[in-house]
Amino acid sequence: MPRRSSLPVTFVVPTLVVLLILSMVPTLYAIVIALQNRELSSTAYSYVWFSNFVDLFFDRRFLNAVWVSVKWEVVTVVATMAVAIGLGVLMFEVASPRLRNIYCLLFIIPVLLPRVSAAFVWKFAYHPLYGIATYPYRLLTGGLIFDPLSKPATALFAVASVDVWQWGLFFAVIVLKLLETLPPQPIEAARLDHARRWQIHAYVTLPMLKAPLISLMFVKMIESLRSFDLIYVMTRGGPGVATETLDMYAFSQGFIESGKVSYASAMAVLMMIATVITFTMLWKRVQA
Amino acid sequence: MKLGRLIGKAVLAFAGFMAVFPLLWTALNSLKNNVDIITRVPRVVFTPTLANISYIIGRDSVMTGLYNSVIACGVAVLIGVVLGLPAAYAVARYPNRWAGDIQFFVLSLRFLPPVAVAIPLMVIWLQLGLYDTLAALIVTYSLLTISVIMWLAIPAFQAVPKEVEEAAFVDGYGAYSVFWRIALPVAARSLIGAVAFSFVLVWNEFLIALMLSSSNAKTLPIVASELSQQGMNVPWGILNASVVLLSLPPLLFLGVLSGFLNSVFRQKKT
Enumerate the domain spans of chain A. Answer: 35-287
Query: How far apart, in whole angstroms, are the C-alpha atoms of residue B237 and residue B61?
Result: 17
Using DSSP's 3-state secondary structure scheme, residue B218 falls into: coil
B54 within a domain of the structure (yes/no):
no
pLDDT value at position A195?
A: 82
Contacts of A18 in chain B (CB under 8 A): 83, 142, 146
Residues 6+ apart with CB under 8 A from A224: A72, A73, A76, A77, A163
Q: Is residue B9 part of a domain?
A: no
Chain B nearest CA to A147, separation (Å): 14
Tell me if B116 and A135 make a contact (CB, 8 A cut-off).
no
Q: A35-287 — its CATH code?
A: 1.10.3720.10
- pLDDT, mean of residues B22-32: 89
Give dist(CA B78, CA B142) in Å, integer: 9
CB nearest to B12's CB, from A22, A91, A275: A91
> At B89, phi and psi to the nearest 5?
-60, -45
- CATH number, position B90: 1.10.3720.10
Among B43, B66, B104, B123, which would you mutate to test the A interface (most chain A Cβ atoms within 10 Å of its Cβ)?
B123
Where residue B230 falls among pLDDT bands split at 50, 70, 90?
A: low
Residue B170 has pLDDT above 60, yes or no: yes
- CA dist A260 and A250 (Å) reads 9
pLDDT classification of B59: cutoffs 50, 70, 90: confident
Please tell me the total count of domains within chain B.
Answer: 1
Report chain B residues whose CB lies below 8 A from the CB of A246.
113, 115
Closest CA to A99 of B259, B2, B8, B247: B8
**Strand, coil or helix: A178:** helix
Q: Which residues lie below 8 Å from residue A286, measured CB to CB, with a gap of 6+?
A: A211, A214, A215, A218
Would you give per-residue pLDDT tens digits along chain A (288 residues)? Answer: 555 688 888 899 999 999 999 999 999 999 999 999 888 777 778 888 888 899 889 999 999 999 999 999 999 999 999 999 999 999 998 888 899 999 999 999 999 999 989 998 998 889 888 888 888 888 888 878 888 888 888 999 999 999 999 999 999 999 999 998 888 888 888 888 888 888 888 888 899 898 889 888 988 998 888 889 899 988 888 788 899 999 899 998 888 887 888 999 999 999 999 988 988 888 888 776
Distance from CA of B205 to the nearest CA of A (A): 7
Q: Which residues of A touch B15 (CB under 8 A)?
A: 87, 103, 107, 169, 172
State the pLDDT confidence band at B234, using cuts at 50, 70 and 90. low
ipTM greater than 0.90, yes or no?
Answer: no
How many CA atoms, within 13 angstroms, populate the side-chain half-sphere of residue B23?
A: 27
Statement: residue B270 has pLDDT above 60: no
Contact flag B119-A254 (C-beta cutoff 8 Å)? yes
Q: What pLDDT, on the 0 to 100 scale, is given for residue B232? A: 56
> CB distance B113–A225 less than 8 Å?
yes
**Minimal Cα distance from A128: which residue of B?**
B40
Cβ within 8 Å, pair B123-A33: yes
The reported pLDDT for the residue numbered A5 is 81
The count of CB pairs under 8 A between chains A and B is: 273
Q: Is there a domain that residue B14 lies in?
A: no
B22 in a structural domain: no
On average, the pLDDT of chain B sits at: 87
Cβ-defined contact of B254 to A251 (cutoff 8 Å) = no
Instruction: Please check whether residue A113 touches B, CB under 8 A.
Output: yes
Range of the domain at B128: 60-269
Distance CA A68, CA A242 (A): 7
Compare all CA atoms of chain A with the CA of B86 and give the residue at the minimum distance.
Answer: A11
Q: Contact B124/A29, CB-based, under 8 Å? A: yes
d(CA A96, CA A217) in angstroms, rounded, equals 27
Chosen for mutation from A36, A83, A104, A113 (greatest number of chain B CBs closer than 10 Å) is A113
A33 touches chain B (CB under 8 A): yes
Residues of B in contact with A99 (CB under 8 A): 12
At B72 the pLDDT is 94
pLDDT at A186: 87
Q: Kindly list the residues from chain B whose CB atom is less than 8 angstroms away from the CB atom of residue A27.
A: 112, 116-117, 120
Cβ contact B116–A125 (<8 Å): no
Q: Are the CB atoms for A50 and B141 separated by under 8 Å?
A: no
CB < 8 Å to A117, chain B: 221, 224, 243, 246-247
Position B49 pLDDT exceeds 50: yes
Distance from CA of A63 to the nearest CA of B (A): 18
B143 domain residue, yes or no: yes
Tell whether the model's pLDDT for residue B39 goes beyond 80.
Answer: no
Decide if B120 and A29 are in contact by the 8 Å CB cutoff: yes
